Structure 1
Amino acid sequence: MINLRRIGAVDGSVDAGTRRFHVVLDDDATVQLDDLIVCRQLLPDGSGEVAHYGIVVEQTGVLEGAQWPSDTRHVVDGTMPGEAVRRAEVLVLRTDPELWLAPNPGAEVHAATGDARTKALFEDQMRKPLAVGLDQSGEPVYADFTFMNGEQGGHVSISGISGVAAKTSYALFLLHMIFETSAGRTLLGASAANTKALVFNVKGEDLLHLDRHNRLFDDDQRARWAKLGVADPQPFGQVEFHVAPLAGGDETQVVPDIASRRSDEVSIYGWTPEAFIRQGLLRFCFTESDDRSTQVGFVEQVVRTQLARHAHPLENEEGAVVIVPEAHSASRTFERVVARRPPAKPAGAGIVIRSWYDLLDLLAAKLDPDFGDEHWSGRTQPGTLMAFQRRLMALGPRLGHLIRCGVTEPVMRTSLTVVDIHSLHEAAQRFVVGALVSRVFEEKQGTGREPLRFIMLDELNKYAPRDGHGPLRELFVDIAERGRSLGVLLIGCQQAAGRVAEPVVRQPALKVAGRLDATEAVDYRYLTPELRERATRFLPGTMVLDQPLVPAPLPIRFPFPPYATNVSDAATGESDRAATASAFEEAGS
C-alpha cells in the first residue's frame, strides 16, 4: 500500500457486497464521483491477499446523532453530541485475483493511483490500448483497440441529444487518435498507410475544414492532449472534401454547392449514368416507407436488371450510355449481367442517356401501360407502373442533379474522405449514403480484414430505422453483423439508440453516450442508474464509455480539437492561418 493515499474504511454499518459497498471517508479525504479506489485484505485462510478495485458512483453525508432538522444546529454549535460522517458508494470494477468475495468491513480503502489505477481499469489486460479520453482527474482512459478494429469486436455507437452531446466531435476525436497520432498508427500496423475512413458531413459545412487549424485552440487544451500522449496535436493531414453539384440551372454546367471553401479545394461528386446503372443504384432511390403491397420493389428489380442488360458505354463520351434494343447478356440476374463491361457503341445504336432526366424519359416509354415493353414492366399492373414512375419523377428535383455526366463518385484516396450531404434533400442523402457505403462494403468482400475501412455517420436513425425494411437499412444491419470480419467498421451516431435498428446499436463493442434526453435515458441499460440520471445533465465534452473489458461504464472527457469543426472556428484568411500556424509551431517547439 506504499504511496497510496488512504481515504477511509469499508463501512461496517451496512452490508458490503461483491458488487457494491460503502466507504466511510476520513475527515481529511477529498473524494468525488468517478474517483477510483482500491481495498486490499488477507484471505480468510491466510493463503494470500485479494484486492477490490472500484469506482465512486455516489456520495452522501449525515450528522450522526441528529434526529430532527433543528438538531443540526445544535450538533454544529456543540450543544448536542453528534458527528459528521461522509460516505462514498463504490461499484466494484475488479477483484484481483478473481475471487467473488465481499470486502471486509473496516478494511482500509485507498485512492487507486499508479499501478492500482492501471489494474482498476484493466489496462494491464488490454492487448492494444488506445487513449479514448480523460477521467475526472485528467488522467488518460484507454480502450482496447482490438474491440474497435474487428479482432475481438468492432464498431462504435455514440448516442446523445443533438447539438449538446458532442457526438460528431467525439467521433472525430477517435478518428484523430487513430489516424493522426503515432500511437494510433502503431496500432494499425503495416496497414496504417492504406487504412481509410469515410466521413459524412450532415450539418452545415462544419466538417469541410478539418485540415485547418482551430483558431480557438490554446495551451490549456494542448496540455490535455499531452496527457493523451499527443505532444503536438495538428489538424487532419490527409483529407479530401467532396461536395454535391449545385442543383438547378443548365444540366451541362457543374458547379460545387459550397460557400466556405474555394471550388479548387473540393471535388464535385455524383454518379454518371453508366456508374448508376452498373452499380445498381436504382435500389437506393426507394425507401422502406414505399408501399410494398403495390409491388413497386419488384418493378425496381426488373428495371434495374433491364438497364444493365441493355446499356453500353457511349463512344467518345465518358460516363454516358446508350440503351440498345438487343440485350448484351442473356442472364436475368443483375450480378451476372454486370460481371463484365459491354463494348462501347455509337449514339446511333439506341437511346443516349446523359442525365437523370434522360433516364426518366426512357422509363416513361418502356413502362407505358399501353405501348411499353413487358420485359421492362414485368407484366405488372398499370397502377403499380404509374406508382413507380411517380416516385422517380418526384426524385428529379431532389437528387436528379447527382446523376449526370461530368461528375465522379468519391474515391477513398486519403486517410479521410469527407462527403458533404448537408444541403441535400433527405431522399438524396439516403441515396448518397447507400451508394457509397455499399461500394465500400462490396469492395471489401473477399479481400481480408486489413486494411481497415471506417465509416462515420451521424443521424443513423434516418438510414437504419428500428422499424421497417429497405435496402439501406439491411445494408447497415449487414455491416453491423458481418462488417468486423471484413474490416468495415461503423462509427455511428444517433440522438436515441431506441430509434435505430437493433443489431446496429447492439453489435458495437464500444458504446458511448453524451447528454441524454430524460425520457429516453431508460433505454440505455448498459449505464448504471446513477449514470443514467447524470447523463441527462452532462455538459458538452463529457461522455460515458462502455467497453467489454471493464464491467462498468466510465465517465470520460475529451480535449478541445486542434482542427476546425465548424466554419467560424477555422483559420481561413491568409493572415489568420499564418498566425495560427505560427502559434502551433511555437507551442510545439
Structure 2
Amino acid sequence: MTENHAPAISNFESFLNQEYGVIGRTVSTKSEPNTSSQFQFWVADRRGKVTLEIGNIIAAFADDNSDITFGSVIEMRSYSDIDSFIADYLSHDFGNAEVVVPTDVSQVIVVTCAVMRNLSNQTKPVERSRVYFPSVTGIQFAYGIVNDKGETIYAGAPIPIGIFENGDKTVAPISVDEHFMIGPEGAHLNVSGISGLASKTSAIEFTIKSLLTHTRQRTAVVMFNVKSRDLLYIDQPNPRLQQGSDQFDEWSIKAYNILGVPIEPFTNARFFAPSDPDYPDHAKSLRRLPTERFEWDLGMIFRDIPTLFNPFDWDDRMESVWFVIQEEIEQGRLLTYTQMLSWVEGQINTANASRPPQQWIRGSHIATWNKMLGHLRRFPRSYPGLIAVAGQGLNIPWEELQHGDVYVVDIQGLGDRGQRLVFGRAMRALSDMLEAGDSDLDAIVVFVDELNKFAPSGNVRTPLKTRLIDITARGRSLGLVLFGAEQFASSVDNEIVENSSTFLFGRTETNEIRSANYAAFSDEVKAKLTMLPQGRLLAKSAKFSQPIFLRFPYPPCLPGDQYTE
C-alpha cells in the first residue's frame, strides 16, 4: 500500500529567510503535545546568535516540504538538567555567585507559538519541522495581507499602520484593510495606553496621514483637541523629519519610505474654536495661527438645550415647560436667546401681576417656570463662547468638508460639559449630513482623545453615550467612523470598544492588564505590554489571526507643545 503525501511546496524559498538558516526544530512530547492552535520548538545552539523574543514570527517548514506553518511567539521557557535550586546553590561553593562551575550545564530554550496560518489551509497540528524566521512575504502571508503568491488580498486599499521588526532584523510593513478600518465591512479604531508613554496621539496622527494617502474612498477627518495644544499645529512640519535638525530621526525617514507615506504635515487643515467671550469676533484658542470661530444662536442650539441640564434637574415638569418654549421658537416668534429669556420672564411677570396672582402658566406651575428661567440664564455663563445671546451665530461649516480635508475643533478651553456639548452636536450634525446624502464623502473619520470622558464604562446612559454606541454599531454603513483614544480601554463603554475593528495598545499599567480587554493575550505578551517603549504598540485587527508588535515613525506634523512663534 502506497502512502499518500501532500505535494511539496515549490516556492517555499519566498516565505523563509534561508540566509539566516534553521533556528530550531518543532517538538511534541507526551505531556505537551502540539495542537492545531499551538506548537512548540526548541532553539538551536548557535552560541547566542538566535535573537528570539515574545511577539516574533517564525515559520515551521515540514520535513517532507509539504507545508509551512507560521506562528507568533507567545511564551519562552528555559530548561536545564539541574535537579533543584539547592543543587545549583551547593555547586557554587555553597552560594558564592562569583564561582564559575567548571562543567557545562545542559540547557535548552523551548518556545511556544500560537498558530497563525499555513500554506495548506488545513487545521492540523504541526508535525516534525525545521524552524526558520520568515521572509517579508512570509510575515505578510501570516497576517493575511498577501496570498501564497505574494499578492495583496485585501478587498480595500492596504493602509500601512507600522513596521514589524523580527528577531532576524527582517523589517516588514504591516497594513490594515481599509474596508475594516473605515467600512463597509468593519470600522473604528481604538488606542489605549499610559498617558505620555504610549504615544497615542502620535500613532493616530500617523495612521490618519497613512489613511488619507492610501485610501481609495473619499475621506475627510475631524479631530477634537481636548487638552493643551496637542493637535493645534498639525499643519506645521515636524523637525524630527527634517534634515539638519538636531532632533532628526533617521529611522522614521526610512519607515515613511517603506510605508509609502509622504513626509509632510496636513496641508488641507482648518482650525475652529469657540468665540472668545471677551473678544466676540475672535476664537478662544491656544493656537497662535489663523483659527476660525464658532458660536451658536438660538435657532442652532435650541434642540440641544435639554441636554445642558443635569439629569436630576430635568423631569416631566421641566420638559412640559420647555415644550411650550420650543413651540414658540419653532413658530419663529423667538429668534434670539435674549428674546427667549425676555419672553419667559414676561410670562412669569404677567402671572405675578394678576389679581389674584396666577399659580399656573399654560399648564405648568409658576415655580417650574422660575426654575426654568434660572437655568436658561445660567447656560450662557456655563458655556462661555458657545451660546450667542443676541444676533446671528456662526456654525462649523460641515457641509464644506471635502476629500482629504482635516478639521480640528479646539475644545480644550471648555469644561467637561462644554466639551461634551460640542462633540455631541458635531457627531449629530455629521451623522445627519451623511444619512441625508448631503455629502459626496464615503467616510468621515472623527478622532477624539479621552474617549472615556464622552462614553464612560458603566450602566448609566447619556444621550451622547447612546449616540456613540449607535455610531459604532452601525456607523460604518453611514460612513461615520470613530477613532478614539484613552489611557485605559476598560474605562470606555464596552459596546464601543467591542465594535472597533482595529486596536492599538501602548504601554499599559499592570492593573489594567487584568481587565477583560486583555484576556486573549498570553501572560508573557501582557508582561511585554507593561514595558513597551515609546513608539511601539501592539496592534490587533479583525483581519489578523494574532496581535502584532509594531513600531511606528514620528508623526509628520509638529507636536503642539513644541510650537514657538
Corresponding residue to 2:521 among 528, 535, 541? 528
Q: Is the contact between residue 302 and residue 378 of structure 1 (CA under 8 Å) also seen in structure 2?
A: no
The answer to whether the aligner puts 1:235 opposite 2:228 as a matched pair is no
Structure 1, residues 474-507: CA drift from partner, whole Å, max 9, x if none?
Answer: 2111211121101111111222233323321111
The aligned counterpart of 1:135 is 164
**Is the partner of 2:276 in helix, strand or coil?**
coil
Q: CA deviation at 1:155?
A: 1.1
Aligned ranges 1:430-579 → 2 under 5 Å = 430-447=420-437, 450-466=441-457, 467-523=459-515, 524-525=517-518, 527-529=520-522, 530-568=524-562, 570=563, 572-573=564-565
Q: CA deviation at 1:559?
A: 0.6
Q: 1:72 to 1:255 in 2, by over 3 A?
A: farther
The aligned counterpart of 1:69 is 88
- Distance (Å, rounded) in 2 between the aligned partners of 1:220 and 1:6: 29
One-letter amino acid of the counterpart of residue 88, structure 2: P
Aligned residues: 506
The aligned counterpart of 1:92 is 115
Aligned ranges 1:141-220 → 2 under 5 Å = 141-179=174-212, 181=213, 184-185=214-215, 187-188=216-217, 191=218, 195-217=219-241, 218=248, 219-220=250-251
**Is the partner of 1:126 in helix, strand or coil?**
coil
- Distance (Å, rounded) in 1 between the aligned partners of 2:556 and 2:177: 24
Bigger Cα displacement from structure 2, 56-65 vs 505-514:
56-65
Q: CA deviation at 1:40?
A: 2.7
TM-score of the two chains, using structure 1 as the length reference: 0.78
Q: CA deviation at 1:543?
A: 1.6
Q: CA deviation at 1:547?
A: 0.9
The aligned counterpart of 1:578 is none
Percent identical among aligned pairs is: 21
Q: Is the contact between residue 54 and residue 528 of structure 2 (CA under 8 Å) also seen in structure 1?
A: no
- Distance (Å, rounded) in 1 between the aligned partners of 2:474 and 2:198: 29
The answer to whether the aligner puts 1:284 opposite 2:307 as a matched pair is yes
- Distance (Å, rounded) in 1 between the aligned partners of 2:361 and 2:453: 30
Q: CA deviation at 1:139?
A: 2.4
The answer to whether the aligner puts 1:40 opposite 2:61 as a matched pair is yes
Bigger Cα displacement from structure 2, 510-519 vs 435-444:
510-519
The aligned counterpart of 1:402 is 386
The answer to whether the aligner puts 1:362 opposite 2:343 as a matched pair is yes
The answer to whether the aligner puts 1:17 opposite 2:35 as a matched pair is yes
TM-score of the two chains, using structure 2 as the length reference: 0.81
- Distance (Å, rounded) in 2 between the aligned partners of 1:305 and 1:472: 21
Q: CA deviation at 1:509?
A: 1.0
Corresponding residue to 1:50 among 60, 67, 92? 67
Q: Is the contact between residue 133 and residue 558 of structure 1 (CA under 8 Å) also seen in structure 2?
A: yes
The answer to whether the aligner puts 1:221 opposite 2:252 as a matched pair is yes
One-letter amino acid of the counterpart of residue 263, structure 2: P
**Is the partner of 2:435 in helix, strand or coil?**
coil
The aligned counterpart of 1:295 is 316
The aligned counterpart of 2:414 is 424
One-letter amino acid of the counterpart of residue 268, structure 2: Q
Q: Is the contact between residue 19 and residue 91 of structure 1 (CA under 8 Å) also seen in structure 2?
A: yes
- Distance (Å, rounded) in 2 between the aligned partners of 1:299 and 1:495: 41
Aligned ranges 1:265-284 → 2 under 5 Å = 265-277=290-302, 280-284=303-307
Cα RMSD (Å) of the superposition?
Answer: 3.1
The answer to whether the aligner puts 1:119 opposite 2:147 as a matched pair is no
- Distance (Å, rounded) in 2 between the aligned partners of 1:241 and 1:306: 35
- Distance (Å, rounded) in 2 between the aligned partners of 1:97 and 1:513: 32
